[in-house]
């Protein structure tokens, strides 16, 4: 099966991190198709950027959806996820969604640990969007600057582990998610220093996408995720316009 | 004061409806500055379209924000609202938000009545986004096609009133919101046929925008709605790029 | 338009504060009609006092409602609000309600900051009564005695600002409400020392009352806020008895 | 032990019903001290009436609290309950509260069945005030006029049983509360026609009051139900003034 | 009346504690019938142990239910409670349930204070099972080892009081429950050192069981607590098999 | 990898159904190890039976856990799941849990459709246990007897499809779960008659178990799912006793 790994950030180096983390757990027959956002910001970190990045994700899916069996929107926060699920026929998985649902099977409450304070509000709204507030023990954010987004996981490894430990001790988290695309792959490296299961967001998303493909769910033709009826558009990129117009 | 009335739909005729409804309740010193989306869809009716329309709203605000004292995002569903509130310095009001908050002062629970089934899921998520589920008695949607979006409020007037009456009788609504930009102004025409207060979404939004301007709230420099720090962008429209890059 | 500013406390000096804060933001055509409770306690600060003060508010409205276009119950905690909304025909706004709904347009979560520990439980129940728990970041209360209720806002200005700052930093509030009638008008004086929008409860209530009058909502004749059918009474003040008896 | 049975309605005949229902389940050593409201309305049926009735209940308690070991506020809706619990030293039980808490031990979800549509909104807010929404399967109200409040339980017996049966079948209630002081004692007469446990509100309140007296809880001197510090009053009935002023 | 005091732990000394606490508040005509689990663990302290202990409780009830008017499952956490309520005809009360419902009449929010960290998660799930999260101010757990489960209440008395005081001061609890069967009876000894009402779990359960017997609720023949229809079994203890098989 | 498929019902024919549904979606390297409960009831359908069945599941896991990489508790309702997750070292997945979490990726709200009214209350409590009430559109239960539990899915196929269609149309479900072990495998046969994705509970559980094994989460040594410290036991089956005693 072919799985689109869609990075809605414009940073290629993050896509590389994501691919490596996905490949580490992929099943033999799975081919990962990576894609980096052609426009937007280096890494999404606010509601405004998520609004834009989600629209860009829809444009990217419109161009590439026919080549794959499923897609992963690989930014924690899941920009554009619900719209994508409406508009396209194959399964689409959000990286935050997959990480949180997987974490639910490993504990009563999960903690989200991330590398920048700015990400907290967006992540909190993402938890709410998925109706998982009751399963979330809290969000811990690093409160320091960093040198380079592509290397933030090495630079801040020690303090991120420290935050995870506090989430376990003080927030009573049963499980930890290291969140934010730039942290993809970090879980494997630090898991043995954290006394509860650590979920790698990208690994979880890859396995969930594989699971959905294997289960072969049909595209809804009723309910709130059926494809909307064709509608005229103006000024949208060609592939997206065609998809919305039903061409 | 100058208030931007931003219609994220591309239909000029809807903007006209909105302006008329706003003008009907505006205070003497208020100038309404209308703006119709230059790209997108004729009327937003799904999550995907709201994702795109919200991004377009940010582009429009980036071009025009310096000319006004406040802005209204005049689509029920509030596309792009939270991002706009982050990125810009003046008050930004969502039309759904304003209608619902106003309705809260007129009853324990409000009903939302709209003209197309497709709008229901998006509106429901909007209610949840504002944390007002406990105040919403339900969403009633018309389940029939219509001839023309610009004239839907006249065409369907009788059945919309019928839906509102059922919301009062069966859902125990204390108050009714006629929702969806194409219905702007309908409330005034049908209010005397409905035995509870009927909130006009656009009227409410205009008054709330005026109220916020009068109260002169400062732009946050802390909390989750402070303006994000400047960040490079790629491929975004010039005004939006400049705003995000802090130029 | 004429707006009744009903202070359910017996302290005239607080009414003066409230009127000044209201006048500061009133529109040109608005006339403020102040009224101080003729019986009760100097300032309501407990559930028992709110029970009594709310009944007194109904008595006051029964005497004066025909002279005004809208009324504000000007005690944070909104004593008697729901009963007033049932029993009388014009819009009635609660000062806490108006402050919180206004704050909802300025941030994801608001903090309530007040001058006495005793007020916390009552305010918490007020937040719940309005179904806004999900929008409230917390209630911060000063834990010290004060010399005089009429001067508490000057006496405690510095520590109240300090509490507001902690609400922003520790509770992640996007917006602050300085709560309690004795603090009316303080917001304007301290807003530039607090890095998020500060809502003045009285200012918000005045603007919301003006907005409701402008929108001309009809009195409900159905739903839970229709006027109850006439009923005999015994031993109630004449005006209230007449209103309940439908005389 | 002596238990005050405080009827905040002015109808003596209802007090008689309540006393009979209480006496039917009282323990040998329990003395019931009945008291009917000296002012107010014949039966409370709206938020405004509850606001007034709750204040009257506080006046009644201020006069009589020293003569008893516990008090029951015997109107479903619990007017004045939280204030009473603050202001007085002995246990105070609400009739709605006692019925609902007792019902929680007899099923997952209880239905509330009552004799007049007007009561629904007030009861719903009472359920919310006690935080028991998740345990309430619904409120069923009779939608017909009745001849005489004192005889409503005989007049409407058959239709009330019918409503209870529908609550079981359609709302999946495990247990039924026949609510409203005028229905006191009805449960015993109809229990064998309803296939789930039926809670008599007054019986439950009497047993809960007895239980609290037996458990001898201390009066709080901390927390939100400690007695408020003495405070001046103006124009309040003597006994209530004395209690609030700490005389 | 005869009330079965069922201890699902295997420790006889705890049963002794429970009987003493129950006897201290029992009404004259009440006979307490104690029963200690014949198999299981000395004291239940985890979800796995509660799963097993709850099944053992059902076995015990199957053998003894016909001898009593009501039963108490006397472990905080209420193992097997809902199943017991389904399967047997007389009232069954959980000790946690009774303590929490009683506490609801003594304050807005109760704190649960217990002697071992391990108990926290199980208790938290018990609060949720009863739908009382909104009434619970928090769970405070002692974080130290102890010498002997039967004497833990004397050994840790001072630190448990200390925890209770912190629950009042820091968590704003209006009322405290000393939780866990080994603490039965401790409330009476320490109540005067804690400034809010302290609920003894066993005392509360005994009074609630007495109340239910006095109210004579019928066994449901509809709803979710009717007795399930007879069904074959395999390998279950004889009395339990007979009950399930309807023999 | 080896995955234990633990059927806590005593009916071998149901185990056969489950194995077939699991095998249909298993990855090449996955070996399914089936196990049928040696004691209990033919199919669990009430809280009491789930209490017993969950304890039996722990006994079964204690005997077989060392032979497998993960286990599935294959009864919708997840009896014993949380205890199993505490007590054993490998991942344990509940069939209801897996179906619901998978469904969350296919729609906003899922419906649960099952073959017997008795199952509703237990399933509802299971949804709540997982904190997924906000994602559940409702539970639809067949209200007719059936000839044979092992053949119920063929016998009732048409009416179950009918229920699913009503869940989509009336409850606005985006996705349907056919629930109850006796329905395992039915989804594949009826999916093309239902216009939204249909989740096969067993298929979902198998894929989730595979995903967890691939992600290699560590056993918690902190948090609420760490293994409880060794403790003496009395009268428990040897393998379970050994596990609890830490032998």
For chain D, the domain total comes to: 2
**Same domain? C196 vs C101:** yes
Find chain C residues with C-beta within 8 A of B172's C-beta: 223-224
The shortest CB-CB distance from A215 to any of F207, F221, F223 is to F207
Q: Give kind and range of the element (H or E) at residue E54.
A: helix E47-64
SS3 E111: strand
Cβ-proximal residues to C142 (8 Å cutoff; 6+ apart), any chain: C114, C115, C116, C117, C156, C159, C160, C163
| DSSP 8-class letter at A28 | T
* Per-residue pLDDT, B27: 97
**Pairwise CA distance, residues B194 & B202, whole Å:** 19
- CB-CB contact of A220 with A233 (8 Å): no
What DSSP string runs through A200-216? EHHHHHHHHHHHHHHH-
* Per-residue pLDDT, E143: 87
**Pairwise CA distance, residues F47 & B229, whole Å:** 55
The nearest CA of chain F is from the CA of B121 a distance in Å of 9
Structure tokens, F26: 């298993």
Q: Is D67 exposed, middle or buried (0-12, 13-18, 19+ CB in 10 A)?
A: exposed
The answer on pLDDT for C143 being more than 90 is no
Strand positions, DSSP E, F96-246: 110-114, 136-141, 175-178, 198-200
Chains C and F, touching by 3 or more CB pairs within 8 angstroms = no
Strand positions, DSSP E, D51-208: 70-73, 92-94, 110-114, 136-141, 175-178, 198-200
F144 band by pLDDT with thresholds 50, 70 and 90: confident
Which of E107, E108, E168, E169 should one mutate to test binding to chain C, selecting the residue with the greatest count of C CBs within 10 A?
E108
**Pairwise CA distance, residues A31 & A5, whole Å:** 10
SS3 D143: coil
**Pairwise CA distance, residues B13 & A244, whole Å:** 22
Structure tokens, E237: 């203890």
The answer on pLDDT for F143 being more than 90 is no
**Same domain? B108 vs B136:** yes
F8 band by pLDDT with thresholds 50, 70 and 90: very high
The answer on pLDDT for B203 being more than 90 is yes
For residue D91, CA distances in Å to A45, B236, E107 come to 53, 67, 10
- CB-CB contact of F135 with F96 (8 Å): no
Q: Is the ipTM of this complex over 0.90?
A: yes
| DSSP 8-class letter at B68 | -
Tell me the residue range of the domain where E109 lies.
97-200
Quick: pLDDT tens for D175-218.
Answer: 999 999 999 999 999 999 999 999 999 999 999 999 999 999 99
**Same domain? B104 vs B166:** yes
Chains A and B, touching by 3 or more CB pairs within 8 angstroms = yes
- CB-CB contact of E125 with F229 (8 Å): no
Q: Is E138 exposed, middle or buried (0-12, 13-18, 19+ CB in 10 A)?
A: middle
The reply to whether residue F215 touches residue A28, judged by beta carbons under 8 angstroms, is no
User: Taking CA atoms, what residue in E is nearest to D196?
Assistant: E220
- Mean model confidence pLDDT for chain C: 97
* Per-residue pLDDT, D143: 87
Find chain D residues with C-beta within 8 A of C236's C-beta: 39-40, 52
For the beta carbon of residue C112, count every other beta carbon within 10 angstroms: 30
**Same domain? D160 vs D226:** no
The reply to whether residue F211 touches residue A102, judged by beta carbons under 8 angstroms, is yes
Positions in chain A short of pLDDT 70: none
The nearest CA of chain B is from the CA of A27 a distance in Å of 31
**Same domain? A64 vs A14:** yes
**Pairwise CA distance, residues A45 & A123, whole Å:** 9
* Per-residue pLDDT, B195: 98
**Pairwise CA distance, residues C126 & C115, whole Å:** 17
SS3 D67: helix
For residue A183, CA distances in Å to A150, A151, D10 come to 9, 9, 69
User: Taking CA atoms, what residue in A is nearest to C173?
Assistant: A121
D138 touching chain B per CB within 8 A: no
**Same domain? B117 vs B81:** no
Cβ pairs C/E, distance under 8 A: 4
pLDDT cut 70: percent of chain B above it: 100
**In 3-state terms, chain C is what percent helix, strand and coil (to 5)?**
50, 15, 35
D230 touching chain C per CB within 8 A: no
**Same domain? D212 vs D90:** yes
Strand positions, DSSP E, chain D: 2-7, 31-36, 70-73, 92-94, 110-114, 136-141, 175-178, 198-200
C138 touching chain E per CB within 8 A: no
E146 touching chain F per CB within 8 A: no
Quick: pLDDT tens for B114-164.
Answer: 999 889 999 999 999 999 999 999 999 998 889 999 899 999 999 999 999
B220: left (phi over 0), alpha (psi -120 to 50) or beta: beta
Quick: pLDDT tens for B184-201.
Answer: 999 999 999 999 999 999
The shortest CB-CB distance from C235 to any of D39, D80, D87 is to D39
Chains C and B, touching by 3 or more CB pairs within 8 angstroms = yes
Q: Which long-range contacts (CB under 8 A, 24 or more apart) does A153-159 make?
A: A153/A17, A153/A115, A153/A182, A153/A183, A153/A184, A153/A185, A153/A186, A156/A115, A157/A186, A157/A189, A157/A190
Q: Give kind and range of the element (H or E) at residue E112.
A: strand E110-114
**Pairwise CA distance, residues C53 & B91, whole Å:** 35
CATH label of the domain that carries residue A16: 3.40.50.12500
- Mean model confidence pLDDT for chain D: 97
Query: Nearest to residue A207, comparing CAs of E238, C201, C155, F212?
Result: F212
Structure tokens, B54: 């919200």
**Same domain? F129 vs F185:** yes
Quick: pLDDT tens for D95-142.
Answer: 999 999 999 999 999 999 999 988 999 999 999 999 999 999 999 999
The nearest CA of chain C is from the CA of D189 a distance in Å of 30
Chain B segment 96-115 residues within 8 A of C by beta carbon are 97-98, 101-102, 104-108
The reply to whether residue B236 touches residue A39, judged by beta carbons under 8 angstroms, is yes
The shortest CB-CB distance from B51 to any of A80, A128, A224 is to A80
Find chain A residues with C-beta within 8 A of C108's C-beta: 121, 125
The nearest CA of chain F is from the CA of B168 a distance in Å of 20
**Is the four-CA dihedral F145, F151, F155, F158 of positive or negative sign?**
positive
**Same domain? E196 vs E208:** no
**Same domain? B74 vs B153:** no
Rounded to an integer, what is the distance from CA D109 to the centroid of its chain? 19
Q: F75-105 burial, b if ≥16 CB within 10 A, otherwise e?
A: bbbbbbbbbbbbbbebbbbbbbbbbbbbbbb
* Per-residue pLDDT, C144: 86
E90 touching chain D per CB within 8 A: no
Q: Give kind and range of the element (H or E) at residue E153.
A: helix E152-155
User: Taking CA atoms, what residue in B is nearest to F174?
Assistant: B121
Query: Nearest to residue B152, comparing CAs of B193, B119, B103, B192?
Result: B119
- CB-CB contact of B202 with B22 (8 Å): yes
- CB-CB contact of D111 with D104 (8 Å): no
The nearest CA of chain C is from the CA of D45 a distance in Å of 8
Query: Nearest to residue E113, comparing CAs of E198, E228, E42, E5?
Result: E198
The reply to whether residue A172 touches residue F223, judged by beta carbons under 8 angstroms, is yes
* Per-residue pLDDT, F145: 87
Find chain F residues with C-beta within 8 A of B121's C-beta: 108, 172
Overall average pLDDT of the C54-64 stretch:
98
**Same domain? E120 vs E155:** yes
B233 touching chain A per CB within 8 A: yes
C78 band by pLDDT with thresholds 50, 70 and 90: very high
Positions in chain E short of pLDDT 50: none
* Per-residue pLDDT, D144: 86
Q: Is C146 exposed, middle or buried (0-12, 13-18, 19+ CB in 10 A)?
A: middle
Cβ-proximal residues to C24 (8 Å cutoff; 6+ apart), any chain: C185, C188, C203
Q: Residue D40: beta bridge partners?
A: C234
* Per-residue pLDDT, A144: 86
Chains D and C, touching by 3 or more CB pairs within 8 angstroms = yes
- CB-CB contact of B142 with B156 (8 Å): yes
D121 touching chain B per CB within 8 A: yes
Largest distance between two CA atoms of chain F:
55
The shortest CB-CB distance from B197 to any of C132, C220, C224 is to C220
F170 touching chain B per CB within 8 A: no
Find chain E residues with C-beta within 8 A of D219's C-beta: 197
Find chain C residues with C-beta within 8 A of B215's C-beta: 25, 102, 199-200, 203-204, 207
The nearest CA of chain F is from the CA of E39 a distance in Å of 5
B119 touching chain A per CB within 8 A: no
**Same domain? A178 vs A123:** yes
**Pairwise CA distance, residues C243 & D214, whole Å:** 44
């Amino acid at each position: 099966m072919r799985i689109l790994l869609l990075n809605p950030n414009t940073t290629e180096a993050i896509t590389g991190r994501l691919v490596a983390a996905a490949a580490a757990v992929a099943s033999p027959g799975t081919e990962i198709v990576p894609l980096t956002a052609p426009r937007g910001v280096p890494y999404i970190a606010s509601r405004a950027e998520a609004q834009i990045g989600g629209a860009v994700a829809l444009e990217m899916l419109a161009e590439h959806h026919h080549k794959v069996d499923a897609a992963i929107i690989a930014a924690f926060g899941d920009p554009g996820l619900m719209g994508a699920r409406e508009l396209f026929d194959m399964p689409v998985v959000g990286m935050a969604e997959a990480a949180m649902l997987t974490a639910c099977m490993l504990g009563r409450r999960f903690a989200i640990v991330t590398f920048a304070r700015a990400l907290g509000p967006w992540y909190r709204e993402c938890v709410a969007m998925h109706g998982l507030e009751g399963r979330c023990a809290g969000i811990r954010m690093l409160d320091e600057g960093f040198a380079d987004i592509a290397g933030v996981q090495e630079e801040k490894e020690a303090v991120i582990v420290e935050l995870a430990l506090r989430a376990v001790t003080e927030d009573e988290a049963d499980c930890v998610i290291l969140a934010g695309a730039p942290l993809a792959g970090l879980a494997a490296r630090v898991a043995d220093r954290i006394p509860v299961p650590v979920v790698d967001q990208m690994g979880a998303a890859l396995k969930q996408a594989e699971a959905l493909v294997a289960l072969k769910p049909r595209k809804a033709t009723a309910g709130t995720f059926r494809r909307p009826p064709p509608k005229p558009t103006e000024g949208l990129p060609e592939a997206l316009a065609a998809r919305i117009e039903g061409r």
